[in-house]
Chain A
Amino acid sequence: MIAIVDYEIGNLGAVANMLIRIGAPAEITSDPARIERAEKIILPGNGAFDACMRNLRATGLLPLLEDRVLRQRVPLLGICVGAQMLGHGSEEGSEPGLGWLDLRVKRFPALPGLRVPHMGWNEVRPAAKPHPLVRDLEADARFYFVHSYYIEPAREEDVLLRAHYGIDFAAGVAHENIAGVQFHPEKSHRFGKRLLSNFARGGQ
């Protein structure tokens, strides 16, 4: 079972909806007993960075999540702000991040003609390193993005996917059992189904 961590940040139904559609058992939950037994964990995130961090902390689930992800090495996928929270912090706010990955979160630069947020469909390309999460992803794969801040992994080898919007940026990050994507796979048609299905089935 995949646990989608519920910490009251809006619509989590879409992630569960797509997982169920691809035949992967999933539950939206904040129940420690369910998270304890999950084979994989998805950390969603929407809206402001600080609000997400504060809400997540307020659930009291952090020690359990750290035990499961950092010690038991359960595969984890962060989505959107859920990916941004994996790092040390964000230019958007003052709350510290989870610090599970060595990455920072930066704001898109002000460039002429570049509207921020980056909202809409964009193509991504896999970084050089093969990774089970992006296995069989089409060359023209596109995903739905909506964000004003982007993740910047400290190590190039942690970059999973790249995209371009005014600048080149990391659309995904992966290090050992922890991964994150800036876009919304649950809202990205067959491309998102492929990625979530890789996450659900892969031995990552």
Chain B
Amino acid sequence: MFRARVIPCLLLRGHGLVKTRRFKDPVYVGDPVNAVRIFSEKEVDELVVLDIDASREGREPNYELIAEIAGECFMPVAYGGGIRTLDQVRKLIRSGVEKVVVNSAALESTEVITAAAEVFGSQAVVAAIDVRKPLLGGYKVVGKSATVEAKVKLEDHVRRVVAAGAGEIFLNSVDRDGTMGGYDLDLIRSVTRLVEVPVVACGGAGTVEHLREAVQEAGASAVSAGSMFVFHGKHRAVLINYPGDIRI
């Protein structure tokens, strides 16, 4: 039976792993290589690792750390953060990741998506889209870890990155990030109905039921979460966990 992928999303800050709430207030949750080793032992479907400072600081990806992380992954792993050029993509793939995640750079130009897809195939290129919903008005695309608002409309941006060659969309809700109250199903629906490529939903998951809703009710092909897999209990004690053998 085919399963929807359940993907822990890990945030890098310097050499540490952190978890945010609404893209703010990063809390340290541990050593990234150690955490990845535990996730690998728990046989997670896939892993997404995002450096949340790289784009904002205009910094290169930390290739050495990424290679160390990838060496522990006996499952697919995607890296995002600070990717702007094909040369960087090449170095990342050589460091051992299967997929690269392009976010902020694609708001200015989708060139790197096209170039990477031509060389490594669409399956290796994920377009991440961070979305915020203001009290008034529709969804807004944001960039650089939600520090800047993009001018492009969500629908146009989704179509544009797919046309450019992205093989997957990683859709993150800024407002739901770290809240564990459930995904923004309307947001997911509004994107899954636009495109054929797999959409990975992120932002808000707290329970297996939430994961199920995103797939069965909103059409996500895969589901991702941070807090749910690094925190335990209402006091958010750090505990790497992964519900074994979930079929969604």
> How many Å lie between the Cα of A184 and that of B75 in the bound state?
9
Shortest Cβ distance from B3 into A: residue: A121
**B-contacting 9-mer, from A36-44, A65-73, A101-109, A185-193:** A185-193
Whether the Cβ atoms of B167 and A189 lie closer than 8 Å is no
A10-B124, A47-B120, A189-B74 known; A120 vs B93 contact (CB < 8 Å): no
Contact digits for B196-218, partner A, Cβ 8 Å, 1 yes 0 no: 11100000000000000000000
**A-contacting 9-mer, from B55-63, B94-102, B145-153, B179-187:** B94-102
Whether the Cβ atoms of A119 and B74 lie closer than 8 Å is no
Whether the Cβ atoms of A13 and B2 lie closer than 8 Å is no
> How many Å lie between the Cα of A118 and that of B73 in the bound state?
21
Shortest Cβ distance from B97 into A: residue: A11
Whether the Cβ atoms of A17 and B71 lie closer than 8 Å is yes
Interface range for B: 20 to 34
| A1-55 with Cβ < 8 A to chain B | 10-11, 13-14, 17-18, 21, 46-48
Residue A146 is within 8 A (CB to CB) of chain B in the complex: yes
Whether the Cβ atoms of B94 and A11 lie closer than 8 Å is yes
> How many Å lie between the Cα of A17 and that of B67 in the bound state?
11
Residue A150 is within 8 A (CB to CB) of chain B in the complex: no
Residue B45 is within 8 A (CB to CB) of chain A in the complex: yes
List of B residues within 8 angstroms of A119 by Cβ:
5, 123, 167-168, 198, 221
Contact digits for A162-183, partner B, Cβ 8 Å, 1 yes 0 no: 0011000000000000000000
**Which positions in A face B, CB cutoff 8 Å?**
10-11, 13-14, 17-18, 21, 46-48, 115-123, 142, 144, 146, 164-165, 184, 186-190, 192-193
